[in-house]
């Protein structure tokens, strides 16, 4: 006989705070907790160790608590394994007050946890009280998996079939001792805008991943001084981390990003790595029809050692060196 329990789930991280409140209710059966309807929360919802949160297509909207600010992730792993599926996430009227560390705004966070994040929809994840992307806070990552904890070896995480839009900083982030499979996601940036340098998918700080069959678009920054990327690898001493090795970026569709694929693996002095990084970038469709960044645009930028770049289709005036010689490139390669 299966035991069914109807619960109103309150974040364990905030259980002692009198102001914390959620209207989110779940039915728990075995290792699955199923959301019963659209709801709001002003505190993080933890997924207990080994549990699967199934949103059943319902929406969870994060709001500021009375007299305070929403902090951290909307949904977060509570142990060493978890699943989050079929859930819709949004934010509503969050105060534009910046936070850092564990308080940074995140949609779904796996911290030191293996598992699956699949079939979810992030409608909005930003800090502002108006329509559109206006906050300059360097947070607002829709899906994030990190592992800097005591667990030995790499943690496998699958992020697949999610639809992500109106994120503040980055659509998908993998950092640390993670072995990721990032497949079949749709990540839609805000398009050319001056508020913040958005990025679509970022693998960094020693993480490795297979990044396959994703569609990433509209990560374009017009504010000057930096550029946005569709798929980014950011590791090595320049980023105060070990290098990421053996990443596969294949068969993705990248449209309207300042840099389609950006491999930023460098020494502290920005030299290419002394060790092989062996990133493979192949079979991707990369296009940009316009020059919107003031500094730099490229279909592929590669700082690495022993990386393989082949069979990619790069098109559009935004990646044609003749459009603006010296700052526009089809492939900008610094590999050893």
Q: Is residue 177 a contact partner of residue 153, using CB atoms and an 8 Å limit?
A: yes
At 162-190, the pLDDT tens digits run 999 999 999 999 999 999 999 999 999 99
Q: How far is residue 161's CA from residue 185's CA, in Å, rounded to a whole number?
A: 5
Residue 2: the pLDDT is 37
- What lies within 8 Å, CB to CB, of 110 at 6+ separation is 76, 77, 82, 117, 144, 145, 146, 157
- List, for the chain, all residue ranges whose pLDDT scores fall below the cut of 70: 1-20, 129-132, 150-152
At 294-332, the pLDDT tens digits run 999 999 999 988 899 999 999 999 999 999 999 999 999
CB atoms within 10 A of CB 215: 17
φ, ψ at 86 (rounded to 5°): 55, 35
Strand partners for 287: 255, 315
Helix, strand and coil percent figures for the chain, each rounded to 5: 5, 45, 50
Q: State the pTM of this model.
A: 0.93
Domain extents in the chain: 1-150, 189-336
DSSP string for residues in 293-330:
-SS-EEEEEEE-SS-EEES-EEESGGG-TTTSTTTEEE
Residue 134: the pLDDT is 77
**Nearest by Cα to 24 from 43, 39, 14:** 39
Residue 1: the pLDDT is 33
């Amino acid at each position: 006989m299966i035991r069914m329990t109807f619960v109103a789930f309150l974040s364990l991280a905030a259980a002692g705070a009198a102001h914390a409140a959620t209207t989110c209710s779940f039915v728990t059966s075995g290792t699955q907790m199923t959301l019963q309807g659209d709801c709001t929360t002003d505190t993080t919802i933890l997924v207990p160790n080994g549990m699967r949160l199934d949103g059943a297509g319902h929406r969870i909207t994060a709001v500021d608590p009375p007299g305070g600010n929403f902090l951290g992730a909307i949904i977060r792993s509570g142990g060493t394994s978890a699943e989050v599926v079929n859930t819709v996430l949004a934010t509503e009227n969050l105060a534009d007050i910046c936070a850092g560390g564990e308080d940074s705004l995140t949609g779904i966070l796996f911290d030191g946890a293996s598992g699956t994040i699949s079939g979810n929809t992030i409608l909005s994840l930003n800090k502002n009280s108006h329509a559109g992307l206006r906050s300059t806070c360097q947070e607002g990552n829709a899906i994030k998996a990190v592992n800097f904890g005591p667990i030995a070896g790499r943690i496998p995480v699958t992020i697949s079939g999610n639809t992500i839009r109106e994120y503040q900083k980055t659509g998908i982030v993998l950092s640390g001792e993670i072995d990721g499979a990032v497949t079949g996601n749709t990540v839609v940036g805000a398009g050319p805008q001056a508020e913040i340098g958005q990025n679509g998918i970022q693998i960094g700080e020693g993480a490795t991943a297979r990044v396959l069959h994703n569609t990433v678009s509209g990560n374009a920054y017009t504010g000057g001084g930096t550029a946005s990327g569709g798929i980014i690898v950011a590791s090595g001493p320049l980023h105060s981390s070990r290098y990421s090795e053996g990443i596969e970026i294949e068969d993705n569709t990248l449209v309207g990003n300042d840099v389609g694929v950006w491999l930023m693996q460098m020494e502290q002095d920005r030299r290419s790595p002394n060790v092989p990084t062996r990133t493979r970038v192949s079979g991707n469709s990369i296009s940009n029809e316009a020059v919107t960044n003031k500094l730099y645009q490229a279909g592929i930028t590669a700082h690495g050692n022993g990386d393989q770049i082949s069979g990619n289709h790069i098109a559009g005036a935004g990646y044609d060196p003749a459009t603006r010689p010296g700052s526009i490139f089809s492939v900008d390669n610094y590999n050893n």
